[in-house]
Amino acid sequence: MRIVLGVGGGIAAYKAALLLRLFTEEGHEVTVVPTDAALRFVGAPTWEALSGRPVQTDVWSNITDVPHVRLGQEADLVVVAPTTADLLAKAAHGLAGDLLTNVLLTARCPVVLAPAMHTEMWEHAATRANVATLRERGVTVVEPASGRLTGADTGPGRLPEPEAIHAAALEALGGSPSADPARGPDLAGRTVLISTGGTREPLDPVRYLGNRSSGKQGLALAEAAAARGARVTLVAANLALPVPDGITVVPVQTALDLQAEMTARAASHDVVVMVAAVADFRPADYAESKIKKTHDPADPDAAPTIRLVRNPDVLAGLVAARGSSAAPLLVGFAAETGDATGSVLELGRQKLARKGCDLLVVNEVGTDKTFGADDTSVHVLTRDSEAVVEIGPASKLEVSHGIWDVVVGVSAAR
Q: Say if residue 290 carries a ligand binding annotation.
A: yes
Secondary structure (DSSP) of 328-385: SEEEEEEEE--BTTB-HHHHHHHHHHHH--SEEEEEE-BTTBSTT-SEEEEEEEETTE
Q: Say if residue 104 carries a ligand binding annotation.
A: no
Q: Say if residue 405 carries a ligand binding annotation.
A: no
Q: Does the annotation count 311 as an active-site position?
A: no
Q: Are 31 and 62 in contact (CB under 8 A)?
A: no
Q: Say if residue 78 carries a ligand binding annotation.
A: no
Q: Are 259 and 219 in contact (CB under 8 A)?
A: no
Out of 102, 211, 238, 311, pick the active-site residue. 211
Q: Say if residue 355 carries a ligand binding annotation.
A: yes
Q: Say if residue 313 carries a ligand binding annotation.
A: yes
Beta strands in 259-324 (DSSP E): 271-274, 281-283, 308-310
**Euclidean distance between CA atoms 286 and 263, whole angstroms:** 25
By CB atoms closer than 10 A (0-12, 13-18, 19+), residue 345 is middle
Max CA separation in the chain (angstroms):
88
Q: Say if residue 351 carries a ligand binding annotation.
A: yes
Phi (first) and psi of residue 15, to 5 degrees: -70, -25
Q: Say if residue 280 carries a ligand binding annotation.
A: yes
Q: Are 221 and 398 in contact (CB under 8 A)?
A: no
Alpha-carbon Rg for the chain in angstroms: 24
Among 321, 312, 328, 226, which residue's Cα sits nearest to residue 273? Answer: 328
Residues ≥6 apart with Cβ < 8 Å to 106:
68, 69, 71, 72, 73
By CB atoms closer than 10 A (0-12, 13-18, 19+), residue 116 is buried
Phi (first) and psi of residue 330, to 5 degrees: -110, 125
Q: Say if residue 185 carries a ligand binding annotation.
A: no
Binding-site residue numbers are 280, 290, 312-315, 333, 351, 355
Annotated binding site for CTP: 280, 290, 312-315, 333, 351, 355
Instruction: Enumerate the active-site residues.
Output: 211
